[in-house]
A and B are shown apart, each in its own frame.
Chain A
Amino acid sequence: MTLTTPAANPVTATAEDAAAVRRRPDTYRWSSRAFALPGLLVVAVMLYLPFLWTAYLSFTEFNGLGDPEWVGLAKYREMFADAGFLGSLGNTLLWVVGTLVLPVGLGLLIAVLAHGIKGSFWYRLPFLLPYAISGVAVGVIWTFILQTGGALSEALTFLHLPGQDLRWLLDAPLNTIVMIVAATWQGAGVNALLFGIGLQSIPKEPIEAARMDGASGWTMFRHVTWPMLAPLTTVVVGLSIVGSLKTFDIIWAMTKGGPGRSSETLALTMYKETFVSNDYGLGAAVAIFLTVITVAASLLYLRRQLSDAKEL
C-alpha cells in the first residue's frame, strides 16, 4: 500500500483504497456497530419516532388530554375546508416563489459581481453577516424599519418616492412580501457563498475557448457559465425552497401570522393549531402536509447530495 501511494500526498485516499474496501473481510463487525449506534439511536428516538407519532396523530381527534380518538381522514377534510389553511397555503407558495426570485437571484448576482475580484471574500462579508443573526433579531430590526411611519416610510418621504403611505406589515400580501425581503437579507449571503464556490470550480478551458470565439458579458454567462453552474443551482434552489417552507422565526417575530391570519404560513399554522388551539390532530395533519411538500422539494437536491457522497 505504502509503495503505491504517492509520497507527496500520503494521507489522501486512492483508487486502490476503494478496491481494498471491497476485498476486506468483516473484521470490525461489532465495533463498527458500536460506533454508529449513538448517532442512529439519537436520530431514531428523537426524530424518526416523533415523525411516526405525528403521522398517527393526524388521523385522530386529540386535545393533549386523555387518549387520541381515531377519526380517519376527518382532520385532513377539516384542514382543506378551512379558509385560514388555504390562505396559509397561498402565503407559503408566495414564500417559495419569492425565495426563488430574491435570495437565489440576488445570491447569484452577488456571486457573479464578486467573482474574480481580488479579496472577493471581503466583498461578500456584509452579505454573510446577517446569517449569524437570529431570525428573531432579524424580525426585530425589520419590524423597526417597516413599522408604520418607520425608517422605510421616512426614507421614501425624504426621497419623494411613492409608497410612503403603505402599511408594510398590516396589509396582505404586502406583509408576506416584505418578510421575504427580510429573509433575503438574512439568507442571500449563503447562496452567494455557494454560487461563488461553484464559479471558482468551473474549469478555465471552456471559458477561454468561448472568449476566443468572441463571447463575453451576458452571452458568456448565458451560454457558458450558467449551464456549467446548473448542478449547483439545483442544490441552492432546493435548499432555499426547503428553507422557505420551514421559515418560522422571522414571521413569528414580525407579525405572528397576522393581522388576523393574513401572513400565516403552514409552519405557523401547525404551531398555532397545536399549541394555541390545542387541536393536536389538526396540527399534525398540517405538519404532515407541510412535510410532504418539503420532502418533494428536497428531492431536488437530496438525491444529488447523496449520490455525490456515495462516489466518495
Chain B
Amino acid sequence: MADRMRKAAIVALGLLWLTPVYLMLANAAKTDEQYGLVSVWQAVGFDGLWQNMLAAWERGRISEGIASTALYSVASPGLAVLVGAAAGFAIVALRLKHGFVWFSVIFSSTVFPIQMVLMPLFIGYVEADLYDTRAGMILIYTAISVPFSAFVMRNFFSGIARHVFEAAVMDGAATWQIFWRIYLPMSGSALVAIFVLQATFIWNDLLLGLTLTQSTETRPVMTALSALQSTYGGSTMPTVLAGGLIVSIPTIALFLIMQRSFTRGLALGQF
C-alpha cells in the first residue's frame, strides 16, 4: 500500500518533470499561424517542425556552430581522459613522490568559479594568438576537464592490485606499455563515463564560448542559441524553441544511449 502510494507519487512527479519537454516539442512543431491560434498546451501535429528547425538552423545560425562544437566535444574530453589517466597512473602505479599533494593541486582547481580565469584567459589568448581559434578552445576545454578526469582515474586505478603492475614489470613491459596496454584497457568503463559526462558539459558550454571566440567558424553553438533567444523579435517563438531542440538532440541522444555511463560518471565524480 505504502509502496503503491510512493510509486504513484513518483510517477506524478516524473510527469510534471516532463511537462516542459512536452511544451517545447508541442510548440516547436507548430506553424506561426497555429502558434497564434491554438493554446500552447495543445499539440497539433508536426506541421511546422521542419520549417522551424530549418529557420533556426539557417537564419538562426545554429548550423555555423555545430561543426566546431562537435570537434570541441570530442577532442577535449578525449585529451582530458588521457592526460587525467596519465596523472592517475603516475600517482597510483608509479608512486609519484608527494603524489597526494599533486593530486590535491589538480583536483582543487575544480573549486574556483570559471569567472576567476575568464579575463586573464581573454587577455592571454589575444596575446598568444589563441583568441578565436579552435586550438585555443580545445585547450581550455581540455584544461577544465582534466581535474575531474584525474580524480576519477586516480580513484579507479587505486582499485587495481599492485601485482598486476609487478607482473607486467617482470614480463619486461616498459612503463608506457603498462599504461597503454594494461591500465587503460582495464579502465574502459571509467574512461567512457568521464568522456560522456565531459562531452556533455563542453557541448553545453556558453560562457567560455562567449568570452574566447567571435567568428562563426569557432563560436560554439550555445552562443548562437543565446543570440537567437535574445533577439526573438526577429524569430518567432516556435523557431527559438526549435533551435533549443536542435542543440539538445545530440546530448539527449548521448544520455539515452549511454545512460549507464552517464550516471556512473556522475556517481564517480562525487565519491
Interface residues of A (CB under 8 A from B): 1-2, 5, 10-14, 17, 20-21, 24, 26, 28-29, 31-36, 38-40, 42-43, 45-51, 53-54, 57, 64, 110, 113-114, 116-117, 121, 123, 125-137, 139-145, 150-151, 154-155, 158, 185, 189-190, 193-194, 197, 217, 235-236, 239, 242, 245-246, 248-249, 252-253, 256, 267, 270-271, 274-275, 280, 283-284, 286-288, 290-291, 294-295, 298, 302, 305-306, 308-310, 312
Residues of B near A110 (CB, < 8 A) are: 10, 13
Which B residues are CB-close (under 8 A) to A114?
6, 10
B87 to chain A, nearest CB (A): 4
Of the candidates B103, B147, B211, which one forms a contact with A309 in the assembled complex, judged by CB atoms under 8 Å apart?
B103
Instruction: Check if A132 sits within 8 Å of B116, measured CB to CB.
Output: no
The A-contacting residues of B in range 102-144, CB under 8 angstroms, are 102-109, 111-124, 139-140, 142-144
Please provide the chain B residues from 36 to 80 with a CB less than 8 Å away from any CB of chain A in the complex.
Answer: 39-41
Verify A310–B100 contact, CB threshold 8 A: yes
The 8 Å CB contact of B23, one of A2, A10, A144, is A144
The answer to whether B40 and A271 have CB atoms under 8 Å apart is no
Give the contacting residue for B119; candidates A46, A57, A129, A150; CB below 8 A: A57
Which residues from chain A contact B150 at a C-beta distance below 8 Å?
Answer: 39
User: Which residues on B sit within 8 Å (CB–CB) of A309?
Assistant: 103, 107, 151, 154-155
Within 8 A of A (CB), among B132-190: 139-140, 142-144, 146-147, 150-151, 154-155, 158-164, 166, 175, 179, 186
Sampled A-B contacts (18; CB under 8 Å): A12-B160, A13-B162, A21-B162, A34-B90, A36-B90, A39-B150, A47-B117, A47-B144, A54-B119, A114-B6, A125-B14, A127-B17, A132-B248, A137-B225, A137-B247, A235-B270, A287-B119, A295-B112
Min CB–CB distance A164 → chain B (angstroms)? 14
Are A185 and B222 in touch, CB under 8 angstroms? no
Main SS of the interface on chain A? helix
Residues of A within 8 A of B105 (CB): 40, 43
How far apart sit A45 and B30, CA to CA, in the bound complex (Å)? 49
B112:A21 contact, CB within 8 angstroms: no
Which residues of chain A come closer than 8 Å to B207, judged between CB atoms?
Answer: 248-249, 252, 271
B200 at the interface (CB under 8 A from A): yes
| A126 interface neighbour in B14, B211, B271, Cβ under 8 Å | B14
Q: Which of A48, A139, A242 contacts B109 (CB 8 A)?
A: A48
Q: Given A39-B86, A246-B114, A287-B113, is A130 in contact with B17 using a C-beta cutoff of 8 Å?
A: yes
Decide: B23 and A38 in contact? CB cutoff 8 A. no
Query: How near does chain B come to A17, taking the closest CB pair, in angstroms?
Result: 4
Known: A54-B116, A271-B118. A123 touches B259 (CB 8 A): no
Residue in A26, A43, A123, A151 whose CB lies within 8 Å of B40:
A151
Question: Smallest CB–CB gap between A264 and chain B, Å?
Answer: 13
Are A11 and B186 in touch, CB under 8 angstroms? yes
Min distance, Cβ B26 to any Cβ of chain A, angstroms: 10
B112/A248 in contact, CB under 8 A:
no
Q: Are A32 and B90 in contact (CB under 8 A)?
A: yes
In contact, B87 and A35 (Cβ under 8 angstroms) = yes
Number of interface residues of B (CB under 8 A): 107
Q: Are A185 and B17 touching (Cβ within 8 A)?
A: yes
In the complex, the answer to whether B206 meets A28 with C-beta atoms within 8 Å is no
- Chain B residues, CB < 8 A from A306: 104, 107
User: Inside 8 A of B106's CB, which chain A residues have their CB?
Assistant: 39-40, 43
Chain B residues, CB < 8 A from A291 = 112-113, 115-116
Contacting pair B116 A248 (CB below 8 A): no
The 10 A-B pairs at the shortest CB distance, nearest first, are namely A134-B204, A39-B87, A46-B143, A32-B94, A35-B90, A50-B120, A132-B255, A50-B117, A36-B90, A53-B120
Chain A residue numbers with a CB within 8 Å of B233 are none
Task: Tell me the chain B residues, 251-269 only, with Cβ under 8 Å from chain A.
Answer: 251-252, 254-255, 259, 262-263, 266-267
Cα-based distance from A123 to B6 in the complex (angstroms): 11
Specify which of A38, A135, A287 is in contact with B116 (CB 8 Å cutoff): A287
- Asked if B10 and A54 sit within 8 Å, CB to CB, the answer is no
- In addition to A12-B160, A134-B205, 20 A-B residue pairs with Cβ atoms within 8 Å of each other are A36-B87, A36-B102, A40-B102, A42-B83, A46-B139, A54-B120, A128-B262, A130-B20, A133-B204, A135-B204, A136-B225, A137-B204, A137-B225, A217-B2, A287-B115, A294-B111, A309-B103, A309-B107, A309-B151, A310-B100
Say yes or no: A270 contacts B115, CB within 8 Å.
yes
- For B126, the closest partner residue in chain A by CB is A64
Q: Does B191 contact A (CB under 8 A)?
A: no
Residue contact A193 to B116, C-beta cutoff 8 Å = no
**A245-B114 Cα distance, complex, nearest whole Å:** 11
Q: Which B residues lie within 8 Å of A312 (CB)?
A: 155, 158-159
Considering the chains assembled together, what is the distance between the CA atoms of A86 and B39 in angstroms? Answer: 41
